[in-house]
Amino acid sequence: MSEELYMKSDIKKLWKVRELTPESFKAYVEFDKQALSDGALPQKVKRLIAIAVAHTTQCPFCIDFHTKEAKKLGATEQEVIEAVWVAAALRAGAAVAHSVLAVNAYEE
């Protein structure tokens, strides 16, 4: 096994996941397709959201894929990086908000 947790080429192994659980895989693909299609929010905005979430969940496959898709939809490099900053701000905000749990320990 490689020492690296994520190897770009590993994404090709999704065929095995599909093979082992075809109905679940098909349902996921359809859900993903619908969730990212145009609706009240255009696809480009949805891809920018996906990039932000991917940075929060720290999924390199998702970061790579959604960034390439956003670029195809006309997202600028600046828009992508601003989406990443939004993710960073929310992640940092969660840490700050949860600091009250530490404060609570001293108030007991």
pLDDT tens per residue across span 65-98: 999 999 999 999 999 999 999 999 999 999 999 9
User: In angstroms, rounded to a whole number, what is the distance separating the alpha carbons of residues 91 and 85?
Assistant: 10
Specify the pLDDT at position 4.
76
* Domains assigned to the chain: 12-107 (1.20.1290.10)
The separation between CA 80 and the C-alpha centre of its own chain, rounded to angstroms, equals 13
User: In angstroms, rounded to a whole number, what is the distance separating the alpha carbons of residues 54 and 35?
Assistant: 15
One-character DSSP codes across 8-53: GGGGGGHHHHHHHSHHHHHHHHHHHHHHTSSSSS-HHHHHHHHHHH
CB atoms within 10 A of CB 41: 13
Q: Which of 9-13, 25-29, 40-44, 67-71 comes out lowest in average pLDDT?
A: 9-13
Q: What is the mean pLDDT of residues 15-44?
A: 97
Specify the pLDDT at position 83.
98
Across the chain, what does the average pLDDT equal?
94
Specify the pLDDT at position 41.
98
Specify the pLDDT at position 108.
80
